[in-house]
Amino acid sequence: MPIDGLLVATRFGLYADLAALAGLPLFWWSMRKGTGAEARGILAVLAFGGIAFSALWLLASAAAMAGTSLFASDWSVVDILLRETMIGPLLGVRAVALLLILVLLLVSRRADGPPVTIALLATVAAATLAWSGHAGATEGVAGTVHRAADVLHILAASAWVGALLALLTRIFCSASDVQETEQTALMLHRFSLFGTLFVITLIVSGAINSVMIVGFANLPLLLHSLYGWLLLAKIALFGGMLILAAANRWRLTPALTRAANSGDLAPAQARLRMSLTFETIMALGILALVAALGTLDPLGG
């Protein structure tokens, strides 16, 4: 089965946007950090982006079904998707969550308050992605288990992506500030504790998803399908992220702490900056692969 590039592109944009929207406030909340004006502006852009990418994904899905272009949509197909499939309800829930985030960002007077409510609404918006792929098509009790595992997978991945974006921003913005660098090192240390839970959740939920999608007996057949090869690429990137995360935890973060104490920040910051950059690139690569995997028949060749 060929990959529909337009559909994959809209899915990737949607996944990346909602992962950042859910992950950033979760990270700030876990670090007991407030949301200043700049952070709130970023969240507002991401919430608008979630609405826009959702609309584009709907149109791209309709175009893929009807065999038309994105800008010449068959509106009867759009109507069918909204009325007769789970796409309508999930887009409704997502839209409500994203609009509430925008309202909270506009009317809240606590500009530096903890983003707990925003984090909860953003996780709801991200969780709706579980109904837009293979998990959404699974029925009965198996479907409930599959979607629960997918929701956990999505939220753990979002938390990791949000942490990477926040930490990468901090390491770039604290180039010559010793106190900021010490705080960054402390945040990296704290995140490593959460990161262990994220990794366990991703491995367990990912294994459940794979078995639910193809069946345990059919797992060897994945080696003969495009889906299987892309899944292996995803696992390889995940393994690369684990290696970099371990290096950050056990080598680069302690080195950054020592550098902050000695005042020689540049070398340690450069190494950590490069590691976080590559880890973020790998995370985006995984999101792109997930966007493609959701459009393919796992055993379709």
Quick: pLDDT tens for 80-103. Answer: 988 888 889 999 999 999 999 999
pLDDT digits (tens, 9 = 90+) for 236-247: 999 999 999 999
Tokens of 11: 């899915």
DSSP 250: I
Q: What does each C-alpha distance from 241 to 64, 180, 191 come to in angstroms?
A: 33, 25, 15
Q: Residue 153 corresponds to which amino acid?
A: H
What the block records as the tokens of 37 is 């004006």
What does the alpha-carbon distance between residue 32 and residue 43 come to, in Å, rounded to a whole number? 17
State percent of the chain over pLDDT 70. 91
pTM: 0.90
pLDDT at 99: 96
Looking at residue 1, its pLDDT comes to 42
Across the range 220-246, mean pLDDT stands at 90
Question: pLDDT band for position 109 (50/70/90)?
Answer: low
SS3 string, the chain, reads CCCCHHHHHHHHHHHHHHHHHHHHHHHHHHCCCCCCHHHHHHHHHHHHHHHHHHHHHHHHHHHHHHCCCCCCCCHHHHHHHHHHCCHHHHHHHHHHHHHHHHHHHHHCCCCCCCCHHHHHHHHHHHHHHHHCCHHHHCCHHHHHHHHHHHHHHHHHHHHHHHHHHHHHHHHHHCCCCHHHHHHHHHHHHHHHHHHHHHHHHHHHHHHHHHHHHHCHHHHHHHHHCHHHHHHHHHHHHHHHHHHHHHHHHHHHHHHHHHHHHHCCCHHHHHHHHHHHHHHHHHHHHHHHHHHHHCCCCCCCC
Write the DSSP symbol of residue 274: H
Does 300 score more than 80 pLDDT? no
Domain boundaries, the chain: 1-132, 140-301
What pLDDT band is residue 44 in, cutting at 50, 70 and 90?
Answer: very high
Q: Is a pLDDT exceeding 70 seen at residue 204?
A: yes
What does the pLDDT average to over 181-194?
81
DSSP code for 71 = T
The pLDDT tens digits for 23-34 are 999 898 888 776
